[in-house]
Amino acid sequence: MTVPKNVRDRYEKLKKSVNHYRTQYHVYDKEEISAEALDSLKHELVEIEMQYPTLVTPDSPSQRVAGTALPQFKKVRHAVRQWSFGDAFTPTEIREFDSRVKRLLEVRPPHGGLTSNKPTYLCELKIDGLKVVLTYEKGLLVTAATRGDGEIGEDVTHNVRTIESVPLSLTRPIDIIVEGEVWMSGKNLETLNKKQQSEGKPLYANPRNVAAGSIRQLDPRITASRKLDTFVYDVARTSEDMPQTQSEEIEYLRALGFKVNTQYHLAKTIDGVIDFWQSWSKKGRHQEYWIDGIVVKVNERDLQERLGYTGKGPRYAIAFKFPAEQVTTILEDIVLQVGRTGVVTPVAHLRPVSVAGTTVSRATLHNEDEIKRLDVRIGDTVILQKAGDVIPDIVAVVPALRPKKATPFKWPTHVDACGGDGSIERVPGTAAWRCVDQGGILQRKRAFAYFISKKAFDIDGLGTKTAELLIDEGIIDHFDEVFELQEGDFLSLPGFAELSAKNAVEAIRKASRDVPLHRVLTALSIPQVGEETARDLAEHFRSIEKLTSASEEALMAINGVGDIVAHSVHAWLAQSEHKKMLARLLKHITIQNPQKTSPSVRRRLTGLTFVFTGTLPTLTREEGQEMVRKYGGEIAGSVSKKTDYVVAGEEAGSKLDKARELGVKVLTESQFLRILANRE
């Protein structure tokens, strides 16, 4: 099969980059890019090799195990070849593994017999640490070695002997070679990093790097001070009869005195494997050890032997990695998008990739300055990051994979979506660009969709598509006209019948009554005014009349409102067309002005930051947040070390996981209400 030149060039660059990052990671314990990003590059390389097998050579990263031994350590030739597992990243890929196993087992064993062809699978947690091979003679530890390149490793016996969980003698005087993982707990890493910081030394990125670096110390006292731990999970060779299943093997190891991880699961089908993987992908980061996936092994030893090995690893086992929060992909284009306030935002169009369990094809590049800082170019391989509910973000470029003809992105002077002649201008004092003509049709559609959205007038049942149709059909010219619509206006739109038109009109009438002032201000799409600034303005002025008559100096005096925001609000309100629109709007709606609260009430939650997640029993999330604001507390959209409380309901997602990971106090609704009641 002929390999296209662009594919061959990409493959060679990938091979060179993977080898470089892999050597830095496995041999020198340096993490130039995250392990997840490295996995992503390796995965792309393997996919190319699967499509074009003629590219595969013995020096391909897909054919190697871990790395070469460091020169300052004595070399150890392994008595039993050490292997590396292949990777699966999605349920589809693990099903392909299952199909491959069953297909290979359909071949009748050479010796005949009635051996079962139906495998079960043992699922074990994949600890993110450093693999060690322990050799015992007559029950006594004689050698501990790193995996190295699979054939030759490093003799680290003097350091491994300092780890309390490694038995120096076994419960029986047997000869055995076992394999396991050395790891450091997150708590011990935090303690070590505090010490590093106090001594002015660089901090360690993760427990795996510390474990690897600690095992390779020339002074065992340093290793002992790191408080490392182990899990042993495999028997490579034993002078006794080998256990007949993988699950029996773990219990066999425990009986000999090894520390094993008991969080394993025997799955009868591949669906059971996927269920176990999904369960641990949610709670895996909350253990004292780091987990980056599960290891799936055919449980029956006779089937393992029939399946055998490839040149790299066993056919009967695979590492099923958790959804990565960092991956690599290719930036295919940079497109400028016009927002509801006329601000122009660069958006990266990406080769679709799965990150943190979500397929992502777009990511914001924020502004012109961010593009220059990253030096990101069309065709670049980029590192994409997504953590929890956070919008995907490009955090770095992999320069070694840059196409030769890639040129720096040139910021334009015109954007068609702006309307008029498409001119754009940089907003003074900021990194943002905006349309000169603020009346562009695309901008108007987005602003109107925001006007009727949940954050603003919350007109139930009118979504973005309906908003666009109302403007396209000329039914709405000014946004306030939505409150004048009748059933007949909707019947002219596709998808609307008598009942849906009636419901739409009723939703509009309902949305016009008792609208909180801050939501009215949010709906107006005033440049620089988001939800929180709208609340600040509403709390300070307490009526639309007082706000519209306020001077620019009075706006600047508000806590949380700076010069740029004050100027933007004052200039917007001063425009005659906006004054006319507000006057028309006030004829259709009744505004609910904020009630003045006493200083003692406002101080109840002062200095405390809350995050809400999930569905609460009686309160909506918005009602809970409003209570916090009323009592002087702060609301945050994501959990960090600065968060004081997370209020969690049913089906709480990644925010709850993050709170547990950081040790942030988690409250039920009733506990939250008790805090409000008790802080008089």
Question: Which residues are the active-site residues?
Answer: 126
Distance CA 92, CA 125 (A): 20
Scored b (16 or more CB within 10 A) or e, 572-599 reads bbeeeeeeebeeebeeebebeebeeeee
Distance CA 615, CA 621 (A): 7
CA angle 235, 239, 245 (to 5 degrees): 40
> Is-contact 644 665, C-beta < 8 A?
yes
Joined tokens for residue 574: 């001063």
Residue 569, SS3 per DSSP:
helix
Query: How many CA atoms are closer than 13 Å to the CA of 35, on its beta-carbon side?
Result: 18
Query: At which residue do the structure tokens 């004081």 appear?
Result: 644
What sign for the dihedral angle of Cα 558, 560, 562, 566? negative
DSSP category for residue 512:
T
Sequence-separated (6 or more) residues with CB below 8 Å from residue 184: 129, 192, 207, 210, 211, 214, 226, 227, 228, 229
> Is-contact 307 398, C-beta < 8 A?
no
First to last CA, the chain: 77
DSSP category for residue 309:
B
Distance CA 318, CA 84 (A): 9
Sequence-separated (6 or more) residues with CB below 8 Å from residue 5: none
CA angle 29, 30, 31 (to 5 degrees): 120
Query: How many CA atoms are closer than 13 Å to the CA of 557, on its beta-carbon side?
Result: 8
Joined tokens for residue 70: 């460091």
Q: Strand pairing partners for 359?
A: 354
Query: At which residue do the structure tokens 């969080």 appear?
Result: 263
Distance CA 665, CA 612 (A): 12
The string of DSSP codes covering 442-482 is HHHHHHHHHHTSTTTT--TT--HHHHHHHHHTTS-SSGGGG
Cα distances from 402 to residues 20, 329, 379, 523, in angstroms, run 16, 12, 7, 43
> Is-contact 130 215, C-beta < 8 A?
yes
Helix, strand, coil percent values for the chain (each to nearest 5):
40, 20, 40
Distance CA 627, CA 310 (A): 62
Give the closest residue to 220 by CA, choosing from 165, 179, 163, 135.
163
Distance CA 597, CA 328 (A): 51
Largest CA distance in the chain: 94
Cα 29 to the chain's mean position, in Å?
A: 24
Give the closest residue to 170 by CA, choosing from 132, 131, 141.
141
Distance CA 555, CA 343 (A): 22
Q: Strand pairing partners for 343?
A: 434
